[in-house]
A and B are shown apart, each in its own frame.
Chain A
Amino acid sequence: MYEATNEQNNDAENAIALSVKNLYKVFGKRPAEVIKRLKGGKKRDELTALGTAAVIDASFEVKKGEIFVVMGLSGSGKSTLIRTLNGLWSPTEGSVVVGGSDISKVSDKELRRVRQQKISMVFQHFALMPHRTVLENAAYALEVQGVAKPERLARAEKILSLVGLEGWGEKYPGELSGGMQQRVGLARALCAETDILLMDEAFSALDPLIRREMQEQLVLLQSELDKTIIFITHDLNEAMFLGDRIAVMRDGEIVQIGTPDEILTHPANDYVAQFVQDVDRTRVLTAGGVMEPPLAVVNLSGGPRNALRTMRDLQVSAAFVVDRRRNYLGIVRDRDVMKQVEAHSSDLGAVVRVGIDPVSPETSLNDLFGRAVESPIPLPVVDDAGRLVGALPRVTLLAALGNVPSTTGEFPVVDAVVAPIPEQVVTAALALTEGDA
Chain B
Amino acid sequence: MEPMFRIPLGDWVEIGLDWLTTTLDAVFDFIRAILVGAYDGIEWLFSAPPYWVVIVVFAAIAWWASGWKLGVGTAFGFAVIVGVNQWENAMNSLALVLIATVVTVVISIPLGIWAASSNRASAIIKPILDFMQTMPAMVYLIPALVMFRVGVVPGIVATIIFSMAPGVRFTELGIRGVDQEVVEAGHAFGSSPARILRQIQLPLARPTIMAGVNQVIMLSLSMVVIAGMVGAGGLGGDVVASLSRIDAGLGFEAGIAVVILAIFLDRVTASFGKNTAGTRGKNS
Name the interface residues of A118-163: CB closer than 8 Å to any CB of B. 120-121, 123-131, 140-141, 144-145
Name the interface residues of B161-211: CB closer than 8 Å to any CB of A. 179, 181-182, 184-185, 187-192, 195, 199-200, 203-204
Q: Which of A88, A173, A198 contacts B281 (CB 8 A)?
A: A173
C-alpha gap A86/B189 in the complex (Å): 10
Does B117 reach chain A (CB closer than 8 Å)?
A: no
Q: Are A172 and B189 in contact (CB under 8 A)?
A: no
Q: Are A174 and B283 in contact (CB under 8 A)?
A: yes
Q: List the A residue with the shortest CB-CB distance to B182.
A: A127
Stretch from B41-49, B237-245, B246-254, B272-280 that touches the partner: B272-280
**B188: chain A residues within 8 A (beta carbon):** 86, 88, 115, 120-121, 123, 198
C-alpha gap A188/B188 in the complex (Å): 11
Residues of A in contact, count (CB < 8 Å)? 34
Q: Are B279 and A178 in contact (CB under 8 A)?
A: no
Separation in Å of the B249 CB from the closest CB of chain A? 50
C-alpha gap A117/B284 in the complex (Å): 28
Does A113 reach chain B (CB closer than 8 Å)?
A: yes
CB-CB under 8 A for A128 and B182, given A172-B280, A174-B281: yes
Does A192 reach chain B (CB closer than 8 Å)?
A: yes
**A124: chain B residues within 8 A (beta carbon):** 181
C-alpha gap A114/B188 in the complex (Å): 10
Does A175 reach chain B (CB closer than 8 Å)?
A: yes
Q: Are B192 and A128 in contact (CB under 8 A)?
A: no
Does B120 reach chain A (CB closer than 8 Å)?
A: no
Does B6 reach chain A (CB closer than 8 Å)?
A: no
Q: Which of A117, A121, A130, A205 contacts B204 (CB 8 A)?
A: A130
**Which of A117, A129, A178 has the most B CB atoms < 10 Å from its CB?**
A129
**Interface residue SS majority, chain B:** helix
C-alpha gap A193/B92 in the complex (Å): 58
**B280: chain A residues within 8 A (beta carbon):** 130-131, 172, 174-175
Q: List the B residue with the shortest CB-CB distance to A176.
A: B281
C-alpha gap A129/B198 in the complex (Å): 12
Q: Are A144 and B189 in contact (CB under 8 A)?
A: yes
Does A19 reach chain B (CB closer than 8 Å)?
A: no
CB-CB under 8 A for A123 and B181, given A130-B282, A131-B204, A172-B281: yes
Q: Which of B190, B203, B277, B283 contacts A126 (CB 8 A)?
A: B283
C-alpha gap A141/B187 in the complex (Å): 10
Q: Are B185 and A127 in contact (CB under 8 A)?
A: yes
**A131: chain B residues within 8 A (beta carbon):** 203-204, 277-280
Separation in Å of the B110 CB from the closest CB of chain A? 21
Cβ contacts A to B, 10 pairs, < 8 Å: A88-B188, A112-B191, A123-B188, A129-B185, A131-B204, A131-B280, A145-B190, A174-B280, A175-B281, A192-B189
Binding site for B on A (CB under 8 A): 83, 86, 88, 112-117, 120-121, 123-131, 140-141, 144-145, 172-175, 178, 181, 188, 192, 198, 205
Which 3 pairs, one residue from A and one from B, show the smallest C-beta to C-beta distance?
A174-B281, A116-B190, A115-B190
